[in-house]
A and B are shown apart, each in its own frame.
Chain A
Amino acid sequence: MTRSGLYKSNNKSLLLGFVATCGSFIASTVNCLAVNLTDTIQVHGFASQTFIHTSKNHFFGDSDSGGSLDFREIGLNGSMQITADLHIFGQLISRRAGQSDDGDIQLDYGVIDYNFYSQENSRASLRLGRVKIPYGFYNETRDVPVTRPSVFLPQSIYFERTRNLTLSADSLLFAGAYRTNAGEVSFEFGGGSPNVDDADIEHFVFDKDLPGKLREDISYAGKIQYQENNERYRVSLTRSQLNMKYKQAGVTGEPAPGKINFTPWIASLQINDEFWSVTMEYARRKTSLDGFNNTQLDRTITGESYYIQGRYRFLKSLEAIIRYDVLYQDIEDRSGTKNALTREKPRHNYFAKDWTVGLSWTINRHIQLRSEIHFIDGTGWLPQSDNPDANETQRRWRLFALSATYSF
Chain B
Amino acid sequence: MKKSRRFKRKIYSLLGIILLGTLGIVIPGIAHSSDTVIINASVPQTELSKSTLQAIFGMRLRKWPNGTPIKVFILSDEHPLHIEFCKLILNAFPHQLKRAWNRLVYSGTGQAPIEVASTEQMLVRIATTSGAIGYIDRSLLNDQVRSIQIK
Contact = CB atoms under 8 A, between A and B. Distances in A.
Interface string A173-216: 00101011110100000000000000000000000000000000
B108 A132 contact: yes
Nearest to B102: A147
Q: Is the interface of A mostly helix, strand, loop or mixed?
A: strand
A217 interface: no
B99 interface: yes
B67 to A, nearest CB: 6
Given A85-B63, A109-B108, A179-B55, A147 B99 contact: yes
Given A39-B114, A90-B108, A141 B96 contact: no
B82 interface: no
Given A177-B60, A181-B49, A39 B129 contact: yes
A84 B51 contact: no
Nearest to B52: A120
A304 B90 CA distance: 38
A147 B96 contact: no
B107 A140 contact: yes
Contacts of B63: 84-85, 115, 118
B52 to A, nearest CB: 6
Nearest to B48: A120
A408 to B, nearest CB: 11
B77 interface: yes
A111 B76 contact: no
Contacts of B119: none
B71 interface: yes
B109 interface: yes
Contacts of B55: 179, 184, 229
Contacts of B52: 120-121, 179
Contacts of A110: 108
23 contacts: A39-B71, A39-B114, A39-B129, A75-B106, A77-B106, A79-B108, A79-B111, A85-B62, A89-B108, A91-B106, A91-B108, A110-B108, A115-B62, A115-B63, A127-B109, A132-B109, A181-B50, A182-B51, A229-B50, A229-B58, A230-B54, A230-B92, A365-B76
Interface of A: 35, 38-39, 42, 44, 75, 77, 79, 81, 83-85, 87, 89-91, 108-111, 113, 115, 118-121, 123, 127, 131-132, 140-141, 144, 146-147, 175, 177, 179-182, 184, 229-231, 272, 274, 313, 365
